[in-house]
Structure 1
């Protein structure tokens, strides 16, 4: 059991959100890996001069993964924040201590993200989510309608035509991703990382706010009470995401010719905005799958299928550790002063590497699950987040503790 107001114990967690986080790490691996591949021409992060197989794989990733994995991360991140707030309020804590707790958590994410970007992967998202959480605590007490209004406004801004994406769609890997030496890596990234962390969070505002709303209603934890909403979200969300991705993904696949700059300024933002709906759709779909599996296979039974489900959910329970483990692989495999395989691997083989890396984290996380070990970075962030929880008890917690001691019971 978890301490009252503290982090949720592993045995108390709902299957749906953890299973969604587990699959999310597969999508993130696929979304990140192809950016390291070198080539003569590029479009949307993919070499445009690869083989037919490479173009087909690129089209699939562009349609179903790129710009869809990170919004799903945003939804689950906001949902998790809502869970923390609910536990704190149930423990009798006031809003100001809760904000300070979340600010400590945001600080850990910013520091970890900075170190991650400097030493491993410049495309880090942890720092951006740390900034988002630091600012997002002020949305915790917003009424539902304001969550939706602000989320909708930000989504509209993302969808507006923009020329800012032109270079990122037609250029190859950023030099900071493939540094020639450790000195150049640190020198280049120290100036790039503040910009990445200071701007990238804007694209995650919409899924974060919707995740907060869903977390208030425990939609992903109690799917049986929200089946119609989840089914509608899965169907509409994924339909919009796929349709919005096609203008870009068909170019990636070589089906359509390279668009003009004006066309790209329209279809690029469209791809990103539609991906937000994909994040909603994937989260809803995976929670529905978890609900179905839970109904057919009682906990602890079901053989190999149940074991696989629990193993993937274990990745979700240790998503921070598994996310950082992926970056270790990218660094070792692609960095020029290490294995330097950017010129050797292709879009297809990097996709296979991404899947293999995710499977390795599934095995690692399942091993941790079997020995009841939460994960090194999960322990770190929880210890700092809940550093003062024991001493900052609200009236309700103090009363509960007194009753517990008088009755001789243990929480």
Structure 2
């Protein structure tokens, strides 16, 4: 998961191009924390299977496994990605606003953002083929390409479409997901160990479908993020404490309540797993997850207000990983491949869901350490730098031609 970077002076679309200017704490802190959520989700999805998300939750798990499944369903699954999608929309809007302040007209801003979108799609393609099937880089790039015009929509249009997409898109995503699981089966028995080339070919074949599905379910929070950016809710959270408190309390409460049916299924307390019941539970869970993602973002913004200029080593490391979120996200994928692929350590065949929590947290901590080492060395994230250069160089060439 990659992820947007925003700051008081400049902001980037997820994953962001970092700047040397002073940055707002809330966006980076949010991404740093949510990278932990993403790590927890990916770790348990690889349990019992291989690099295609064959596993996920126990069918005959012990009590600890069932508790872990319920907790992850309520607080992690489908909660991190919506928040990242909202931050992506937020970052995209802030980039456009900052470029406009610098004198760029709208056609130039649109070209720049779409160019970044194309590069993100390409990054996502290589990411999926070489490492990991659950890529979201291409999803963000696709949103930038198709919906860059939303940056000029009215507030009413943004909120109305976000509301429609929240229900319709979550339902479509749920039907497609449950249908795919029913067709292929879940668990390690549904997958066959294949050679590396075939493994990569499977990921390549599934990449367009997964990218489109992730884009569908990410559209609603993406639009809300654009709306929030116009009010600079993350750069100046102290101005909107009432709204942030209501969003944090309401959003997280909705996520927990809406996730209860699926949590009962995953923890084996609800045994009716017919297609209709599973689809309804998954749709409710996904829809509520959008509220949860927004609630998490609001809660972290409130925490940033409380912290102010204070912060110990953990906050510093979280902020460093948030500034280098794309690099940390891709680093996680490298570790997943090394640990879980059948051609390497094949760890998914040897751990349960409860143990995957420890593995996920360990991988996240590794990212914190790497990000903090880069911070100490005065280095940006290498993939953030690469995206920035690939986007900016062509832009400078266009500017030179226009001026010539």
What TM-score, normalized by structure 1, do the two folds share?
0.87
Native 8 Å contact 1:178 1:335 kept in 2: no
| Cross-structure match for 1:340 | 346
Query: Matches of residues 139-158 of structure 1 in structure 2 within 5 Å?
Result: 139-158=150-169
Change (3 A) 1:190 1:241: same
Cα offset for 1:163? 4.3
- SS, match of residue 37 in structure 1: coil
Correspondence list, 1:188-267, <5 A: 188-267=202-281
For 1:269-280, list aligned pairs within 5 A: 269-280=283-294
Q: Please give the alpha-carbon distance, in whole angstroms, between the structure 2 residues aligned to 1:317 and 1:390.
A: 24
Indicate whether 1:381 and 2:387 are aligned: yes
Equivalences, count: 385
Aligned with residue 28 of structure 1, among 27, 38, 59: 38
Report Cα offsets for 1:170-212 as digits up to 9, x if no partner. Answer: 6325899875211211222222112222332011000100001
1:179/1:72 Cα in 2 relative to 1: closer, same or farther (>3 Å)? farther
1:103 aligns with 114
Aligned match of 2:98:
87
The structure-2 alpha-carbon separation of the partners of 1:152 and 1:245, relative to structure 1 and needing over 3 Å to count, comes to same
Structure 1 residues 253, 168: CA separation in 2 closer, same or farther (over 3 Å shift)?
farther
From 299, 312, 316, give the equivalent of 1:285. Answer: 299
SS in 2 for 1:238: helix
Moved more, 196-205 or 166-175: 166-175
Distance in 2 between residues matched to 1:382 and 1:31, nearest whole Å: 29
In structure 1, the residue corresponding to 2:112 is in which secondary structure? Answer: helix
Partner of 1:114: 125
**Take 2:97 and 2:232, find their aligned partners in 1: how far apart are those partners?**
10
Unmatched segments (≥5 aa) in structure 2: 1-6
Instruction: Decide whether the 8 Å contact of 1:82 with 1:212 is kept in 2.
Output: yes
Displacement of 1:340 after TM fit?
1.2
SS in 1 for 2:134: coil
- Contact residue 36 and residue 361 of structure 2 kept, 8 A: yes
Q: CA deviation at 1:139?
A: 0.7
Larger radius of gyration: 1
Shift of 1:262: 2.1
Indicate the residue corresponding to 1:12 in structure 2: 22
SS, match of residue 342 in structure 1: helix
Q: What CA distance in whole angstroms lies between the structure 2 residues aligned with 1:174 and 1:101?
A: 44
Give how far 1:68 is off. 0.6
> Is the contact between residue 46 and residue 54 of structure 2 (CA under 8 Å) also seen in structure 1?
no
Q: Is contact 1:92-1:393 (8 Å) kept? A: no
Q: CA contact under 8 A between 2:66 and 2:268: conserved in structure 1?
A: yes
SS in 1 for 2:380: coil
Which residue is 1:313 aligned to?
Answer: 319
Q: TM-score, normalised by structure 2?
A: 0.89
Per-residue displacement from partner, 1:336-357 (whole Å, max 9, x unpaired)? Answer: 1111122101111111111001
Distance in 2 of aligned mates of 1:179 and 1:375: 34
Most deviating of 279-288 and 190-199 = 190-199
Q: Give SS of 2:348's match.
A: coil
1: CA distance, partners of 2:11 / 2:45: 41
C-alpha distance in 2, partners of 1:386/1:258?
A: 54
Q: Give 1:409's aligned residue.
A: none
Question: How far apart in 2 are the matches of 1:4 and 1:219?
Answer: 15
Deviation at 1:19, TM superposition (A): 0.1
Q: Is the CA contact 1:44–1:248 (under 8 Å) kept in the aligned structure 2?
A: no
Return 247-256 or 173-182, whichever deviates more: 173-182
Q: Is the 8 A contact 2:129 2:201 kept in 1?
A: no
Q: For the residues of structure 1 that align with 2:354 and 2:63, how far apart are their CA atoms?
A: 10
> Unpaired runs of 5+ in structure 1?
399-411
Q: 1:176 to 1:385 in 2, by over 3 A?
A: farther
Give the Cα separation in 2 of the matches to 1:132 and 1:178: 33
Partner of 1:65: 76
Counterpart mapping for 1:356-367 below 5 A: 356-367=362-373
Closer/same/farther in 2, CA of residues 177 and 332 from structure 1, 3 Å limit: farther
CA distance in 1, matches of 2:156, 2:166: 15
